[in-house]
């Protein structure tokens, strides 16, 4: 199999962190998104949506979407569990993964993609008003999650999960969007330091 990966982008990073937590190693090929390599006919043949990452299996089957690739490996190798075990934990991990993705990762991405000069040719059209509408949502979510983290170690409970991976990738993505963690969000800062210290964060 081969994983098409992009070092700089937050979605491929989610898959890399997941694989590192599992201790799984996959041959990779870098696709340079700033050089628009994901728009080439070769990569478009692999993923018509021209998004990263993509996993090509030995039988030729293509799996795209970072979370779908993670679920593939979770099914092949359940330990350590990163999508929960049992109905309640499975639901909570999915709930927090989606809350983090839709209410935090997506707004951070909107601020970056619709304001940053480097995205002018990649996000067409850029809509600066949409970026500005999303900026306060980023802060709102961090203050919400700060209250939640007063009572537990990780985003979805007492165990590191896919929800932490999404939150970590999005939190570090804030640097490109030029947004900072609110000074008073001490629980977020404690959580961020802890997950950043895991070896997987360097993946």
| Contact residues for a second copy, defined by CB under 8 A | 48-49, 57, 61, 63-65, 67-69, 71-73, 75-76, 86-88, 90-92, 94-95, 98-99, 103, 125, 127, 129-130, 133, 144
Rounded to a whole number of angstroms, the minimum distance from the CB of residue 60 to a second copy is: 12
CB of 2 or CB of 71, closer to a second copy? 71
CB of 68 or CB of 202, closer to a second copy? 68
The tokens for 173 are: 């993505």
Ramachandran region of residue 69, left (φ > 0), alpha (ψ -120 to 50) or beta? alpha
Nearest CA-CA partner of 109 in 40, 24, 182, 33: 33
Rounded to a whole number of angstroms, the minimum distance from the CB of residue 194 to a second copy is: 23
Strands 28-30 and 2-5: parallel
Rounded to a whole number of angstroms, the minimum distance from the CB of residue 202 to a second copy is: 26
The tokens for 175 are: 């640097």
The tokens for 33 are: 């998104």
Residue 186 Cα distances to 55, 142, 145, 163, 190, angstroms? 37, 10, 11, 19, 6
CB of 35 or CB of 129, closer to a second copy? 129
**CA 99, CA 96: separation in Å to the nearest integer?**
5
Rounded to a whole number of angstroms, the minimum distance from the CB of residue 157 to a second copy is: 11
CB of 11 or CB of 171, closer to a second copy? 11
CB 116 within 8 A of CB 143: no
Three-state DSSP class for residue 31: coil
Rounded to a whole number of angstroms, the minimum distance from the CB of residue 34 to a second copy is: 21
CB of 76 or CB of 193, closer to a second copy? 76
């Amino acid at each position: 199999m081969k994983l098409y990966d992009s070092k700089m982008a937050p979605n491929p990073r989610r898959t890399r962190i997941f694989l590192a937590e599992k201790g799984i190693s996959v041959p990779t090929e870098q696709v340079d998104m700033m050089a628009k390599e994901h728009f080439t006919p070769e990569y478009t043949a692999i993923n018509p949506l021209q998004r990263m990452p993509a996993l090509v299996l030995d039988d030729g089957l293509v799996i795209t979407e970072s979370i779908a690739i993670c679920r593939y490996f979770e099914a092949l190798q359940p330990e350590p569990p990163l999508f929960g075990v049992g109905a309640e934990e499975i639901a909570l991990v999915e709930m927090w993964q989606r809350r983090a993705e839709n209410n935090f990762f997506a707004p951070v991405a909107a601020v970056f993609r619709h304001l940053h000069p480097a995205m002018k040719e990649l996000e067409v059209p850029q809509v600066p008003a949409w970026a500005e509408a999303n900026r306060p949502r980023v802060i709102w979510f961090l203050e919400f999650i700060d209250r939640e983290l007063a009572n537990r170690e990780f985003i979805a409970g007492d165990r590191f999960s896919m929800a932490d991976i999404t939150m970590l990738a999005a939190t570090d993505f804030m640097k490109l969007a030029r947004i900072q963690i609110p000074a008073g969000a001490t629980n977020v800062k404690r959580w961020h330091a802890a997950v950043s210290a895991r070896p997987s964060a360097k993946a």
